[in-house]
Chain A
Amino acid sequence: MPLYLNDDQNMLRDTARELMGAEGSIANQLRKYRDMECKDGFGHALWKQFGELGLTGILVDEADGGLGLGHVEAGIVLEEIGRNLTPSPFLVTAVAVVEALRGTKLRERWLPGILAGETVAALAIDEGAKHRPEIIEARAERSGNGFRLSGKKQFVVQGASADVILVAARSDEGITLFAVEKGAHGLDVEGVRLADSSIGARMTFDGVEVDSDAVVGEVGGGEAVLKRVLNAGRAGASSELVGLGSQAMAMTVDYLKQRKQFGKLIGEFQALQHRAAHLYSELEIARSAAIKAQQLLDEGAEDAELMVSVAKAKAGRTSALAVQEGVQMHGGIGMTDEYDIGLYMKRDRVLNELFGDANYHADKVARMKGY
Chain B
Amino acid sequence: MADLDSFRADTRAWLEANCPAEMREPVRDESDACWGGRNAKFKSDAQKAWMDRMAARGWTVPDWPTEYGGGGLSPAETKTLRQEMARIGARNPLHSFGISMLGPALLKYGTEEQKKRFLPEIARGEIRWCQGYSEPNAGSDLASLQTKCEDKGDHWLVNGQKVWTSYADKADWIFCLVRTDFSAPKHKGISFILFDMASPGVSTKPILLISGNSPFCETFFDDVQVPKDQVVGEVDKGWDVAKYLLGHEREMISGMGLGGNSGSLGEAFADVVAQDPLLRADIARFDVDALACPAFDDEICRHRAQQAPPRAGHGRRRLERARMGQRPLEEGQGRPRMAAHQGQFDRGRDQRGPARNRRQAHSRTPRSLTHAALPQ
Whether A370 is near chain B, meaning CB under 8 Å from some CB there, is no
Smallest Cβ-Cβ distance to A327: which chain B residue? B366
Q: How far is the CB of A233 from chain B (nearest CB, A)?
A: 17
Smallest Cβ-Cβ distance to A332: which chain B residue? B164
Smallest Cβ-Cβ distance to B348: which chain A residue? A195
Could you tell me which residues of chain A, from 338 to 357, have a CB within 8 Å of some CB in chain B? 338, 342-343, 345-346, 349-350, 352-353, 357
Q: How far is the CB of B278 from chain A (nearest CB, A)?
A: 4
Smallest Cβ-Cβ distance to B277: which chain A residue? A363
Contact (Cβ within 8 A) B140 A331? yes
Contacts A129-B335, A129-B337, A261-B141 known; A34 to B349 CB distance under 8 Å? Answer: yes
Whether A335 is near chain B, meaning CB under 8 Å from some CB there, is yes
Contact (Cβ within 8 A) B164 A130? no
A343 partner residues in chain B, CB cutoff 8 A? 210
B201 partner residues in chain A, CB cutoff 8 A? none
Q: How far is the CA of A331 from the CA of B277 in the complex (A)?
A: 35
B209 partner residues in chain A, CB cutoff 8 A? 335-337, 342
* Count of interface residues, chain A, beta-carbon cutoff 8 Å: 38
Whether A262 is near chain B, meaning CB under 8 Å from some CB there, is yes
Contacts A262-B140, A335-B366 known; A155 to B344 CB distance under 8 Å? Answer: yes
Whether A193 is near chain B, meaning CB under 8 Å from some CB there, is yes
Q: How far is the CA of A200 from the CA of B367 in the complex (A)?
A: 30
Whether A143 is near chain B, meaning CB under 8 Å from some CB there, is no
Could you tell me which residues of chain B, from 273 to 287, have a CB within 8 Å of some CB in chain A? 276-279, 282
Could you tell me which residues of chain A, from 173 to 231, have a CB within 8 Å of some CB in chain B? 192-197, 200
B346 partner residues in chain A, CB cutoff 8 A? 193-197, 346
Q: How far is the CB of A351 from chain B (nearest CB, A)?
A: 11
Whether B85 is near chain A, meaning CB under 8 Å from some CB there, is no
B341 partner residues in chain A, CB cutoff 8 A? 129
Contact (Cβ within 8 A) A349 B141? no
Which of A331, A338, A349 sits near B208, CB closer than 8 Å? A338
A155 partner residues in chain B, CB cutoff 8 A? 344
Contact (Cβ within 8 A) B278 A362? yes
Whether A103 is near chain B, meaning CB under 8 Å from some CB there, is no
Q: How far is the CB of B363 from chain A (nearest CB, A)?
A: 8
Q: How far is the CA of A266 from the CA of B367 in the complex (A)?
A: 18
Whether A334 is near chain B, meaning CB under 8 Å from some CB there, is yes
Which of A337, A357, A363 sits near B210, CB closer than 8 Å? A337
Contact (Cβ within 8 A) B210 A346? yes
Whether A328 is near chain B, meaning CB under 8 Å from some CB there, is yes
A129 partner residues in chain B, CB cutoff 8 A? 335-337, 341, 344
Whether A65 is near chain B, meaning CB under 8 Å from some CB there, is no
Whether A359 is near chain B, meaning CB under 8 Å from some CB there, is yes
How many A-B pairs have beta carbons closer than 8 Å: the answer is: 95
Q: How far is the CA of A263 from the CA of B216 in the complex (A)?
A: 26
Q: How far is the CB of B343 from chain A (nearest CB, A)?
A: 5
Contacts A193-B350, A363-B277 known; A336 to B141 CB distance under 8 Å? Answer: no
Contact (Cβ within 8 A) B210 A336? yes
B211 partner residues in chain A, CB cutoff 8 A? 335
Whether B139 is near chain A, meaning CB under 8 Å from some CB there, is yes
Whether B86 is near chain A, meaning CB under 8 Å from some CB there, is no
Could you tell me which residues of chain B, from 355 to 375, have a CB within 8 Å of some CB in chain A? 363, 366-367, 369-370
Whether A68 is near chain B, meaning CB under 8 Å from some CB there, is no
B343 partner residues in chain A, CB cutoff 8 A? 195, 349, 353
A337 partner residues in chain B, CB cutoff 8 A? 208-210, 212
Could you tell me which residues of chain B, from 288 to 341, have a CB within 8 Å of some CB in chain A? 333-337, 341
A195 partner residues in chain B, CB cutoff 8 A? 343-346
Whether B207 is near chain A, meaning CB under 8 Å from some CB there, is yes
Q: How far is the CA of A128 from the CA of B276 in the complex (A)?
A: 14
Whether B245 is near chain A, meaning CB under 8 Å from some CB there, is no
22 pairs from A and B in contact (CB 8 Å cutoff): A128-B337, A129-B344, A130-B334, A130-B336, A193-B345, A194-B344, A195-B345, A195-B346, A200-B344, A261-B144, A263-B141, A332-B134, A332-B139, A332-B216, A335-B211, A335-B367, A337-B208, A342-B209, A343-B210, A349-B334, A349-B344, A359-B276
A interface residues with partner B (beta carbon < 8 Å): 34, 128-130, 155, 192-197, 200, 260-263, 266, 327-328, 331-332, 334-338, 342-343, 345-346, 349-350, 352-353, 357, 359, 362-363
- Top 7 A-B residue pairs of the complex, sorted by shortest distance between their CB atoms: A342-B210, A129-B336, A359-B278, A261-B141, A337-B208, A332-B164, A262-B141
| Given A129-B335, A194-B344; 9 other pairs, CB 8 A cutoff | A34-B349, A129-B344, A195-B345, A261-B140, A261-B144, A332-B134, A335-B366, A338-B207, A349-B344
B interface residues with partner A (beta carbon < 8 Å): 134, 137, 139-141, 144, 163-164, 207-212, 216, 276-279, 282, 333-337, 341, 343-346, 349-350, 363, 366-367, 369-370
